[in-house]
Amino acid sequence: MDWLGEAGLSAPESVNTTLDLPCGTSVLRLGQQEVLLTAPPGGSGARLRELRNAWHDSELPAKGYEAYRDEGWAWFVISGPAAPALMRRISMADLRPESLKPAHLAQTRALHLDAVVARFDRFGAVSYDIFFDIASAGFALDVLTETAAGTNADFQMAALHPAE
Amino acid sequence: MKLLTCPVNGPRNITEFQYLGPVRAASAEQPEQLIEALFYAENPLGVMREWWRHTPSNTVFIAERHTVSDQIAATYLPNRKPA
Amino acid sequence: MTERLPLPWGSRLDRTRKIRFEFDGWPLEGFAGDCIASAMAGTGRWILSRSFKYHRPRGILTMAGQDANTLVQLPDEPNVRADLRPIAEGLKVTAQNVSGTAEHDRGAVLDRLGRFMPVGFYYRSFFRPGAKSWLKFWEPMIRKSAGLGKVDPAAGRGHYIKENLHTDVLVVGAGPAGLSAAIKAAEAGAQVLLVDLNPELGGALTYARFGLEPAEAEATLKTLREAAEKLGNLRVLRGATCNGWFADNWLPVLQGEMLYRVRAKQVVVAAGSHEQPLVFRNNDLPGILLSSAAQRLMRHYAVRPGQRAVVFAGNRDGYLTALDLLDAGVSLFAVLDPAADVSGKILAQRLIERGVRIIPNATVTEALGAGGNRHIRAIRFNTPEHGTELLDCDHLVVAAGYTPCYQLPLHAGAKLGFDEASRQFVLSNLPEAFHVAGSAAGYFDLKSVLRSGEVAGAAAAQGAGHACVHPDIIPDASAPKMNYLQDLSPHPKGRDFVDFDEDLQIKDIKNAVSDGYSELELVKRYSTVGMGPSQGRHSALATARIVARETARKVGEVGITTSRPPFGPEKLGLLAGPNHVPYRHTAMHAEHVAGGAKLAPVGAWWRPLHYAGKRDVKKVIWDEVTLVRDRVGMLDVSTLGKLAIRGPDAAAFLDRIYTMAHARQPVGRVRYCLMLNDMGSVIDDGVAFRLSETEFYVTATTGAVARVFADMLFLNTQWGMQVDIQNVTAAFAAINVTGPAARKVLEALGGDIDLSPDGFPYLNGRSGVIGGCPARIMRIGFTGELSYELHVPQSFGASHWRKLLEAGAPFGLQPYGLEASRILRLEKGHIIIGQDTDALSTPDELAMGWALSKAKARYVGKTGVEARGRLGLKRKLCGFELPEGHGIRLAESCLVLRDGRPVGFVTSTCLSPTVHKWIGLAYADPRDATPGSSLRIRGLCGKELEARVVPTPFYDPENQRQEM
C-alpha cells in the first residue's frame, strides 16, 4: 500500500474490490496488504512492465514483496450473456450478477480449484476474470470446454495474446 | 453443506476451509504443558473456539462453534474479537 | 386395449399419438403422456413385479412413485418406477426379481415356504450342512436371487451435469400449499424456486376432488397456475425431486440428468403426505390401491381401476374417491366405513342416493385372490351385527389416512412426535429458515391448506429480507378425522403385510420384539422393516404402533427410525457428475511426453517415472542410474515445494520453524531444513537458500508443501513475526542437473554465474542469468553426484529444458525419471519423507540427531523430541545389504524380526546398479541397528534370512563426488 501511494497510484478502499487506473491497469485488492495489478487483456503489457520495474527499483523499505503471480497464476476471462450460466456450473459460490457486482471480486473455488473471480464486464457484456494455479491450467481448460459445451450457448475459445 | 463466514470474504461453503484445531491454552513449547497441549482435547458441551483457514485467500481466523447445535456464533480475525 | 375414460379425464394424455412398447415380451400400446404403469393398466395388465421374498404378484399402490411395487427393468436401467416413467416408442420393459415373467414367476414357490423364513432367519441359518456350505452353496444362491434390478455393465455412459443455484426461497412441492407459498413469497419480491416431481403443477388439485363438487378445486388450480405463470421471479422446475436437506439449507434437486445444488435462504416444505395402506390378510394383491392412486389413474391417465369396486373409507377422502368412481362409470358395490355412525356424513348420504351400499362398523379381514393371487377377486369383512361377509370385487380402494412427508424436515433436525388426540404424526422443533405447509403440516381442508401455504410463504419471504403481511392460519377441524387407526392384531393365517418391500407381516414385527429387540432401531435392523426402496413410507406408522403395543409404550415414545438423505432413489452418476479428475502439469510436461516418458500421478501432479518408451523398462532405469553416475542426467523437480520467506524476521522465523540453525545462516548458503511437529515427529525436509539478509528461498517435498505452508501461516498468526510467506511452487520450474559432467553442461549454457568449485562450493546458492534465463541455482546432495538444482520462472521452463539438452548433448546429457532418482538417493542412504518416515519417526530414530540444533532455545517440536528422547529409542532406521541372488521376495514393508517377533520393517530397498548388491533401509531394534549386526528379514514369500547391517551411504562414503 505504501509503495502504491508513493507511486501516486490509487488502490481500492475495501478488500475484495477493484478499480481501474487511468492508464488502463486494473488494481485488485486481495487483502489488507495484498494487491494484484493486471494489464488490459490483449494489450502489450508495456505499462505494467514499467510499473513492475519501478517497484523493483524502489528503495522504499516497506514496499512489500512480489508473489510472482504472473508466473504462478493462469488467467481466463468468461464473458457474454451466458457467462453467469457457465459460472453456475463451475462454481458453488454465489456469483450471480446481482451478488457479485462489477468492480468486486470473490476469493473462492471454481473449476475444482482455489480461484480469484473478479467481475469486470469486459467486451461489453457480463464477464468474469478467473485467476488460479498455472499448473492446473490444462485441467481447468478441460473442465471449461466440456462444461461450456454442455450449456449449448455456443461459447468460443480465444486467447488473450499480447499484441506483439 | 455447512456455511462458514470468513471474516474477510463472507459466507462460503465449508469445503473452502481447512480446520486447524482448537484454540489451546497449553503451549507445546513449555515442557510442563507438553502432554496437555498434545493429547488433551478440549471437549466442552458448549461453545468451542477453533482455528480455521480459508484456503483460497489464506485467511487464518477463529470461529466460536457450539458443539451441540453446531451453530457458529462468531468468526473473527485473531486480536480482533468483536465486543 | 380396454376402454379409457373420455375427456376431461386423462389430463396428461395426448390421445392423438399412440405409442407401442413391450412388457415381458408382450406388445402393448398406450398414449403419449402415459407412464408405463398407466399404459399397462389401460390394457388390463395389473401385475408390475414380484415381491422381494415371497415373489407375490404386486401392482399399483400409490401411483406416485412412492412405493416399490412399480420397480421395473429397462434394458440399460434398473429399478425404474413404472408409475413415473413415460412410455416411449419401442421401449422394452421387463419385470425384476422374477424367474420367468411377472405373470408366471417360478420363484412364487417361495410364498409357500414362508414358515421356513421367519423374521431374522438369515442370522441363524445357512451354517449347514458343512463348514464351507455358506461360501460354496448358500451364498452364491442367495446372491443370485438377491437384489431387484440388474445393471448392464456394457450400458452406454450417462451424461450428467451439476449446477449450483442460489435463491431466496425454495418451495418443495407445487400442490395447493406449495403454489400458495411460492406465489406469496414471489409477490413479496423474493427470488423463488418451486420444485415438483410431477410434469404438471398443482399436486393434489390435479387429481383430488376436495369437495362434493370438483368445481372449486378446478377453479383454485386454474387461479394458482395463472398467478404462478405471471411472476418473473418465480422459477419452476418440473419433473424434479428435492432429495434431501443438508446443513444451512443446501438441498439437492434431481431433474433427469441434472443435479441442482440449491442454496436457499429459506425453505418451505409443502411436499404433502404419504397415504397409508390398510393391513389385513393378502392386503398386497394387485387391484388393492390407495384412494389417491385410484384418483390419479382416472384423472391423469383416464384409466378406471376396474369395473367392480369396493371402497374402504376410513376418512372423507374415501367418500370423495367413491364419488369419482361413480362419475367414471365404475360399479361401486359398497363403501365400508369403520365408523359406527354414518348418518351425519353428507357424502355418505349422496352415495346412498346414487345406489351405493354404505356399511358402518366395518373392518376388512382378508382379501381373496384369483389365479395364484394374481388379482383381487373378493374381500372378506366383519361387522359386529352381521359377522363376516364376502363381497366380490375386482378392485379395493383404501382410504385409511396419511403420514406427513417427514423426511426433509427430519433431515433438517425436526422431531416427529405422535399426537394421540388427533391420531397424527406431528412435526416439531423445526429449524430456523425452514417452514412446513399443507398436509405435511397436518392441514387437509382446502382452505386451510391454501392459507398454510400463504403463511409459510410470507414467513419465508420475510426471513429472506422481503417485507410481507402475515396472514393467520385457518385451523382445520377435520384433520383428526383423517387418520383411521385400525386394530393391528395378526391374522392367524398371516400374509397381512406391514412392509410390502420386505414382505414383513404383523407377526414378523411382533416376533422381532419377542426375540428381544424392543427398541425400534433394533427392530428395524433385525427385521429389515423400512429398509426397502420405499424406506418406511407405508410401514412406519404401523410398525411404531405394533412395537408400542408389544412394549407397553406410546407411539410417541417409540417414534420412527432416523430419516436420512436421500429422500428417494438417486443414480450414482448424478452424484459423481462429470468425472473431472484434477491434474497438474509442470512446464516441461510436453517435453516428457515427447521423450517417451511414463508418467505417474504424485498427488495431483504427473511426474516421469522413466523414459523407456517402448524399450525394456528395467534396463532403461538401470541405464538412467548409470547415466547419472558416469556422465550427467537431468530430472524435472518442478513439483517440489517452494516457499518464499521474506521480511525482517525471515531468518528468525525459519529458525523457529526448522530444527537447524538458520538465524545466522550466511547469505549465499544453502542449508538442509528439517521440520517437526509438536510431538517431535518428522513432517518434512528440504533446503533453505539465503538470498539476502531478509530473503530465503525454501524447498519442501512435493507432497508436504501445502501442509508446511498452512502450518507456517497458522504459526505466524500466533507468533506475529514480520515475515511474508508465499507458496511459489507453481511459479518456478526446477531441474536437477546431476553427474560428474554437470558443471561442464552449465558452463556450456553461458551466463553470469561463477561456476568454479571455489566460486560456487557445495551447499551454496547463486542467483543470476544462465542460458539467457533468470535463475536461482543451488548445490545440494541427494543423488551423490555433482548436482545443480536450477530454478527458473515456469514460463522459461520448457525452453530451458531444451537449451540444457542442447548444451549437454556433447556430454551425453539425457533426462532421467523418478525410478532412477529413488535408486540414486538410496545408494546414498537419503530418506524420503513419507516412505522412510511415518507419523512417529523422530530424528533420533533416523540417525539424524545431528539436525537438531543444541544451541537454539526453541523450534517447533524441540520440547516434544527431547521428551521422547528421554523415553529411549524403540526402533532405529539402519542400512542393510544382501547379495544379489539372496533368494527371497524382498520389498518395502517386509518385516524385520527379533526373537521371532516383528520389531520393524523395510522402508526402501532395491538392487543397486552401482554397488551390485541389494541395499535398503529398515526400522529395526536399536540393538540390532548397528553396523556389524544382522537383521532377520521375512520376505513377501514367507522365507526369512539374515541381512548384514552396514553404514550408509552405500556408495562414496566420503561424499567426495557430490562436493567436487
Write out chain C residues lying below 8 Å of B70, CB-based. Answer: 247
Option in B14, B31, B51 nearest C863 (CB): B31
Query: Which three cell numbers mark C717?
Result: 498468526
Tell me: the pLDDT tens digits for B57-70? 999 999 999 999 99
Instruction: Look at A31 and B57 and tell me if their CB atoms are within 8 Å.
Output: yes
Write out chain B residues lying below 8 Å of C717, CB-based. Answer: 60, 78
Query: Which three cell numbers mark A144?
Result: 471449461
Tell me: the pLDDT tens digits for C517-569? 999 999 999 999 999 999 999 999 999 999 999 999 999 999 888 899 999 99
Strands annotated E in C373-470:
375-383, 387-392, 395-399, 402-404, 415-419, 424-428, 434-436
Residue C819 has φ and ψ, to the nearest 5°, of -65, -45
Q: How far is C718 from chain A (nearest CA, A)?
A: 18
Strands annotated E in C82-185:
92-95, 161-172
Give the CATH number of domain C641-728: 3.30.70.1400
* C584-639+730-841 to CATH, choices 3.30.1360.120, 3.90.190.10, 3.30.750.24, 3.40.50.2000: 3.30.1360.120
**pLDDT given for residue A161 in this prediction:** 67
Q: In angstroms, what CA-CA distances link A111 with A76, A160, C273, C581, C639?
A: 12, 19, 39, 11, 21
Closest CA to C165 of A81, A95, A151: A95
Instruction: Look at C714 and B60 and tell me if their CB atoms are within 8 Å.
Output: yes
Chain B residue with CA closest to A117: the answer is B56
Element (H or E) spanning C797, and its range? helix C797-808
What contacts C182, CB < 8 A, 6 or more positions away?
Answer: C169, C171, C174, C192, C194, C228, C234, C268, C457
**For residue C90, how far is the Cα from the chain centroid?**
34
Superfamily the domain C161-274+403-480 falls into: FAD/NAD(P)-binding domain (3.50.50.60)
Chain C residue with CA closest to B78: the answer is C717
Task: Confirm if C277 and C498 have CB atoms less than 8 A apart.
Answer: no
Which residues on neighbouring strands pair with residue C908, listed in sequence order?
C921
Write out chain C residues lying below 8 Å of A136, CB-based. Answer: 582-584, 604
ipTM above 0.90, yes or no: yes
Q: Vertex C667, ends C664 and C668: CA angle to 5°? A: 135
Number of other residues whose CB lies within 10 A of the CB of residue C834: 17
**Which of B9, B54, B77 has the most A C-beta neighbours within 10 Å, making it the best mutation to test the interface with A?**
B9
Gyration radius of chain A over CA positions = 16
pLDDT at C389 > cutoff 90: yes
Task: Provide the mean pLDDT of chain A.
Answer: 92
DSSP category for residue A90: H
Tell me the C-alpha distance between C125 and C72, whole Å. Answer: 30
Chain A touching partners, 3 or more CB pairs below 8 A? B, C
**pLDDT given for residue B82 in this prediction:** 59
Option in C261, C605, C644 nearest A92 (CB): C261
Residue C668 has φ and ψ, to the nearest 5°, of 95, -5
Q: How far is B36 from chain C (nearest CA, A)?
A: 12
Q: Is the dihedral of CA C221, C224, C229, C234 positive or negative?
A: negative
Whether C235 has its CB under 8 Å from any CB of chain A: the answer is no
Task: Confirm if C328 and C5 have CB atoms less than 8 A apart.
Answer: yes
Q: Which of residues 134-163 of C touch A (CB under 8 A)?
A: 159, 161-163
Q: Vertex A44, ends A42 and A46: CA angle to 5°? A: 140
Task: Confirm if C347 and C319 have CB atoms less than 8 A apart.
Answer: yes
Tell me: the pLDDT tens digits for C346-364? 999 999 999 999 999 999 9
Considering chain C, what percentage of its residues have pLDDT values greater than 90? 89
Residue C477 has φ and ψ, to the nearest 5°, of -70, -20
pLDDT at C724 > cutoff 90: yes
Q: Is the dihedral of CA C678, C681, C686, C689 positive or negative?
A: positive
Instruction: Look at A109 and B54 and tell me if their CB atoms are within 8 Å.
Output: no
**Which of A33, A34, A101, A107 has the most B C-beta neighbours within 10 Å, making it the best mutation to test the interface with B?**
A107
Q: How would residue A162 be classed by pLDDT, with cut points 50, 70 and 90?
A: low
Element (H or E) spanning B56, and its range? none
Option in A16, A92, A115 nearest B9 (CB): A16
Q: Are strands C695-700 and C682-692 parallel, antiparallel or unpaired?
A: antiparallel
Task: Provide the mean pLDDT of chain C.
Answer: 94
pLDDT at C589 > cutoff 80: yes
Number of other residues whose CB lies within 10 A of the CB of residue A137: 18
Mean of pLDDT values over C174-203: 97
Mean of pLDDT values over C871-886: 95
Chain A residue with CA closest to C166: the answer is A94
> Could you state, in order of their start, the residue ranges of all structural domains in chain C?
1-150, 161-274+403-480, 278-399, 486-571, 584-639+730-841, 641-728, 873-963
Element (H or E) spanning C414, and its range? none
Q: How far is B45 from chain C (nearest CA, A)?
A: 19
Number of A/B CB contacts below 8 angstroms equals: 28
**Ordered domains of chain B (ranges, CATH):** 3-76 (3.30.2270.10)
pLDDT at A164 > cutoff 70: no
Which residues on neighbouring strands pair with residue C504, listed in sequence order?
C499
Write out chain B residues lying below 8 Å of C431, CB-based. Answer: none
Instruction: Look at A89 and C795 and tell me if their CB atoms are within 8 Å.
Output: no
Instruction: Look at C718 and B18 and tell me if their CB atoms are within 8 Å.
Output: no
CATH topology assigned to domain C278-399? FAD/NAD(P)-binding domain (3.50.50)
Tell me: the pLDDT tens digits for C759-769? 999 999 999 99
Write out chain A residues lying below 8 Å of C589, CB-based. Answer: 138
Chain B residue with CA closest to A132: the answer is B56
Number of A/C CB contacts below 8 angstroms equals: 79
Tell me the C-alpha distance between C817 and C607, whole Å. Answer: 8
Task: Classify domain C873-963 at the CATH class level.
Answer: mainly beta
Task: Confirm if C28 and C40 have CB atoms less than 8 A apart.
Answer: yes
**For residue C203, how far is the Cα from the chain centroid?**
30
Task: Confirm if A105 and A14 have CB atoms less than 8 A apart.
Answer: no
Tell me the C-alpha distance between C771 and C799, whole Å. Answer: 10
Residue type at position C962: Q
Q: In angstroms, what CA-CA distances link C695 with A1, C648, C789?
A: 20, 9, 18
pLDDT at C158 > cutoff 90: no
Helix (H, G, I), strand (E, B), or coil: what is residue B80?
Answer: coil
Tell me: the pLDDT tens digits for B10-35? 999 999 999 999 998 888 999 999 99
Q: Which of residues 9-38 of B touch C (CB under 8 A)?
A: 14, 18, 20, 28-31, 34, 37-38
Which bin fits A45, alpha (ψ -120 to 50), beta or left (φ > 0)? left
Q: How would residue C136 be classed by pLDDT, with cut points 50, 70 and 90?
A: confident
**For residue C603, how far is the Cα from the chain centroid?**
22
Sequential DSSP letters for A106-118: EEEEETTEEEEEE
Q: How far is B5 from chain C (nearest CA, A)?
A: 12
**Which of A108, A109, A116 has the most B C-beta neighbours within 10 Å, making it the best mutation to test the interface with B?**
A108
Tell me the C-alpha distance between C227 and C176, whole Å. Answer: 12
Option in B18, B34, B70 nearest C867 (CB): B34
Chain A residue with CA closest to C695: the answer is A65
Closest CA to C626 of C807, C823, C882: C823
Task: Provide the mean pLDDT of chain B.
Answer: 92
Q: Is the dihedral of CA C515, C518, C519, C520 positive or negative?
A: positive
Q: How would residue B43 be classed by pLDDT, with cut points 50, 70 and 90?
A: confident
Residue type at position C665: Q
Closest CA to C310 of C208, C212, C391, C400: C391
Mean of pLDDT values over A68-74: 96
Chain B residue with CA closest to C248: the answer is B2
CATH topology assigned to domain C1-150? Ubiquitin-like (UB roll) (3.10.20)
Write out chain C residues lying below 8 Å of B58, CB-based. Answer: 713
Q: How would residue C618 be classed by pLDDT, with cut points 50, 70 and 90?
A: very high
Whether B2 has its CB under 8 Å from any CB of chain C: the answer is yes
**Which of C717, C721, C856, C865 has the most B C-beta neighbours within 10 Å, making it the best mutation to test the interface with B?**
C717
Option in B20, B29, B37 nearest C858 (CB): B29
One-letter-per-residue 3-state SS of C831-843: CCCCCCCCCCCCC
Q: Which of residues 40-59 of B touch C (CB under 8 A)?
A: 51, 53, 55, 58
Tell me: the pLDDT tens digits for C504-531? 999 999 999 999 999 999 999 999 999 9
Chain A residue with CA closest to B12: the answer is A93
Task: Confirm if C69 and C40 have CB atoms less than 8 A apart.
Answer: no
What contacts B25, CB < 8 A, 6 or more positions away?
Answer: none
Q: Which of residues 788-847 of C touch B (CB under 8 A)?
A: none
Q: Is the dihedral of CA A55, A58, A62, A66 positive or negative?
A: positive
Element (H or E) spanning C918, and its range? strand C918-924
Q: In angstroms, what CA-CA distances link C796 with A50, C767, C803?
A: 21, 15, 10
Tell me: the pLDDT tens digits for C458-473? 999 999 999 999 999 9
pLDDT at B81 > cutoff 70: no
Closest CA to C535 of C557, C496, C561, C570: C561
Instruction: Look at C250 and B1 and tell me if their CB atoms are within 8 Å.
Output: yes
Instruction: Look at B56 and A116 and tell me if their CB atoms are within 8 Å.
Output: yes
Which residues on neighbouring strands pair with residue C774, listed in sequence order?
C769
pTM across the whole model: 0.93
Write out chain C residues lying below 8 Å of B20, CB-based. Answer: 710, 714
The count of C-alpha atoms lying within 13 angstroms of the C-alpha of C705, restricted to the half-sphere facing its C-beta, is 23
Task: Confirm if C260 and C192 have CB atoms less than 8 A apart.
Answer: no
Whether C166 has its CB under 8 Å from any CB of chain B: the answer is no
Task: Classify domain C486-571 at the CATH class level.
Answer: mainly alpha
Helix (H, G, I), strand (E, B), or coil: what is residue C360?
Answer: coil
Write out chain A residues lying below 8 Å of B15, CB-based. Answer: 92, 109
Tell me the C-alpha distance between C42 and C20, whole Å. Answer: 13
Chain B residue with CA closest to C262: the answer is B1
Which bin fits C413, alpha (ψ -120 to 50), beta or left (φ > 0)? left
Whether B60 has its CB under 8 Å from any CB of chain C: the answer is yes
Tell me the C-alpha distance between A117 and A30, whole Å. Answer: 11
Closest CA to C669 of C653, C685, C690: C690
Tell me: the pLDDT tens digits for C246-277? 999 999 999 999 999 999 999 999 999 999 99
Tell me the C-alpha distance between C105 and C950, whole Å. Answer: 73
Tell me: the pLDDT tens digits for C205-245? 999 999 888 899 999 999 999 999 999 999 999 999 999 99
Instruction: Look at C858 and B28 and tell me if their CB atoms are within 8 Å.
Output: no
Would you say the CATH fold of C161-274+403-480 matches that of C1-150? Answer: no
